[in-house]
Amino acid sequence: MKHIYNYNSLDFDDDLNIKHHNRSFEINVNNYNSKKLGIMIVGLGGNNGSTFLASILAKQKNLNWENKNGKHDINFYGSIYEYGSINLGYKNNVPVTKLFKEVVNFRNIDELVVDGWDICKDNLYEACKKNKILDPDLLKKLEKDLIKIKPLASIYYDSFIAKNQKDRINNTKTFVNDKWKDLFNIKSDIDSFKIRHNLEKVIVLWSASTERFSKNNWNNWSELSKAISRSDPEVSPSTIFAVASTMAGAIFINGSPQNTISPAILELAKNNNTFVAGEDFKTGQTKLKSVLVDYLASSGIKPLSIVSYNHLGNNDGRNLKEEDQFRSKEITKRNVIDDVFEENRILFNNKKPEHEVIIKYIQAVGDSKRAIDEYFSELFLDGKNTLSIYNVCEDTLLAVPLMLDIIMFAEFLSRVEITEIKQFDKKIKYSNLNLLSLFFKSPIIDNETPLINSFFRQRYGLENFIKICSGLPINDFINLHSRS
């Protein structure tokens, strides 16, 4: 079914006189076929990857389990796909809502097939046991299935992740000084997975250890292909996975903070009629920051400094002990306030707040991250306001529902066709799934896309797009019709 979206583009002069440019777009959502959807996770044996696979398997088998708090089912709390609702309007002044997945045709969890790569050869039962996320009763019920699943051998370039990860590396297939061979080896894995399971589509999701930033940001595919040909030391493993995925026609999603998705990757994805998204999952501490900084600025309160500290004891925290890997994470955590600053320059007096990010590895706390944030702001008559937030969360249990959201929304958005209605209709060909920015600390944008980090603007953008795809009017909270 096709729907029309009308956009009013504006030009402003210094006196705020406006010139209107009307543009209309036709939105068409294609149905998916009866084949299943493949998910390949880079870092399958890590906390996120192993817990995601185990949870999907438990959901598909309709398992429940017991712990000291009683009996439980797999519920994916924290997932917008599962529980996110859309306001459709009002009936007798009472809001009418439906879930996202009730409004348009999303995939179902039962249609997912999961596999992936890891630099550690532990089978998924051993991985889950080491990661200590699942309750023992649930792990026992999944043991026979998980023990049969072994990650595919991955690629490893030692300058990109922390040296303290070397004791985990026993499952690699890196060709020395031949990154093209590495690339086609990964592509072959994707192609074989798709054929073996008779899949309609494959989504490759990077959930492996944070890499250091690459020193190069290739501007086009010609530059990057030459760099791969000469096995340039700045071509990272995640770049190889991104290129292999797009060449295989798969969707590539970067869930870590390194600068993987360069203009060259966007170009290659567009040429291969596929998509990319990223970067760095936005789960707990940074998601809250994207809400609070917007709240302060929207209230006319001037943030002067933001200091974020956390410590955790999982392997992600261990990898971030080294400076280069921490720097990647620090950049994405800091960037999350950029759009609020740009839109409130008078309030900020053109000076960004002091913004400090500190992460420590404390093995004892495991996956239970401790986060402390202080927001120090200026009020009327030089008054000061301090917000101190102490947040304890299960890091992986926030990330896995987010991974489900990214996968389900990415698959849906890949079926959306957008055509600009002119004298000659022009189909919009895009590769960047920037509507997924809600789920990332550092959303990938291209030259024509404004950066949006603020949580609720991201949420309403995604919600309004889903409403357009179903022929519903977009959000309007003015409700003039209801005023007497």
Residue by residue, what is the 3-state secondary structure of 154-189? Answer: ECCCCCCCCHHHHHHCCCECCCCCCHHHHHHHHHHH
Catalytic residue list contains 329: yes
Count of positions (residues) in the chain: 484
**Among 47, 74, 38, 79, which residue's Cα sits nearest to residue 59?**
74
**Catalytic-residue membership of 427:** no
* CB distance 106 to 408 below 8 Å: yes
Known active-site residue 338: no
Distance linking the first and last C-alpha atoms of the chain: 37
Report the C-alpha gap between 437 and 199 in whole angstroms: 27
List % helix, strand, coil for the chain (3-state, nearest 5): 40, 25, 35
Closest CA to 411 of 81, 79, 190: 81
User: SS3 of 411, please?
Assistant: helix
Q: Residue 357 and residue 443: Cα distance in Å, rounded?
A: 19
Catalytically annotated residue among 118, 232, 280, 395:
280
Cα–Cα dist 244/194, whole Å: 14
Catalytic residue among 121, 201, 441, 467: 441
Token couple for 52? 């995601």
Q: Does residue 66 have a cis bond before it (omega within 30 degrees)?
A: no
Out of 369, 373, 395, 405, which one is annotated catalytic? 369
For residue 280, indicate whether it is catalytic: yes
Q: Which of 270, 329, 333, 467 is catalytic?
A: 329
- The two tokens of residue 273 are 């009629």
93: left (phi over 0), alpha (psi -120 to 50) or beta: left
Active site residues: 280, 329, 369, 441
